[in-house]
Amino acid sequence: MKVTIKTPEEIIKMRVAGRLAAEVLDYITPFVKPGVTTGELDSLCHNYMVDVQKTIPAPLNYAPAGHSPFPKSICTSVNKQICHGIPGEKVLKNGDIVNLDITVISDGYHGDTSRMFYVGEPSIQSRRLCELTFEAMWRGIDEIAPGKSLGDIGHAIQKLAEGVGYSVVREFCGHGIGAKFHEDPQVVHYGRAGTGLKLEAGMIFTVEPMINAGKAAIRHLPDGWTVTTKDNSLSAQWEHTILVTEDGHEVLTVSANTPPKPDYKFS
């Protein structure tokens, strides 16, 4: 594992990229409502990134080993879809929950963030899952500081999610990020406190827990990208890109309307 420590110049560029990614989510928020298709959301985001921000949508044609190129500019994962949902003809309806995952490239550096959205009025169960997942992400972020370990992040997330009867997806994780979309380290969202890589100032990585209301098992769809829960239970995900600072951490994917850190209510 080779984890790059970002230079002050790189950190400046990552702050810009992170803010721009978050601003795409701010922009698209009023369009997430019953009757819109996920493909329409993708087109709106694509045009905003390319024409307004002058950024590059990182997912478009992204093709890691073993995958066909991703055909769209954002990921839209609805209800039981865990991650990497491909935008298309699916019409969002009242009560749906959807994760919009945005990654932009600005001046050669990546900003990566996602949020959960309610389509119309969510059920009590859907709202609880999304709020718990948001809090779980923040519990993990709270653990980030020099001298702490990756295991501290995963443990905090796992303890909260499993404590209320939910499950943590094991096959996908957070990741280092910078000039490359995905770098070391891998940031899993489960584990034992005090284990794993020790954190150092200058590291930048994402924290992006995927929490299922049912069991943790997943299913890959034939499109080669979309991942769903095997038991068809709901799934939620939130994501921020984080810089380890000399005295703690800094959330890089922040914009004017980024949801603030919540008051913790789950235990």
Look at residue 172 in the predicted model and tell me its pLDDT. 97
The residue type found at 101 is D
Q: Which fold, 8-251?
A: Creatine Amidinohydrolase (3.90.230)
Where exactly are the structural domains of the chain?
Answer: 8-251
Q: Which residue do the tokens 């009025």 mark?
A: 121
At residue 1 the predicted structure's pLDDT band, cuts being 50, 70 and 90, is confident
Mean pLDDT of 190-218: 98
Mean pLDDT of 145-163: 98
Contact of 142 with 115, CB cutoff 8 Å: no
**Per-residue pLDDT at 192 exceeds 80:** yes
Contact of 114 with 84, CB cutoff 8 Å: no
Work out the mean pLDDT of the chain and round it to a whole number: 98
Q: Model confidence over 84-124: pLDDT tens digits?
A: 999 999 999 999 999 999 999 999 999 999 999 999 999 99
Crossing angle of helices 38-47 and 8-28, in 10° steps, is 130
**Per-residue pLDDT at 66 exceeds 90:** no
Q: How far is CA 104 from CA 20, 46, 123, 151, in A?
A: 7, 10, 32, 28
**Per-residue pLDDT at 226 exceeds 90:** yes
At residue 267 the predicted structure's pLDDT band, cuts being 50, 70 and 90, is confident
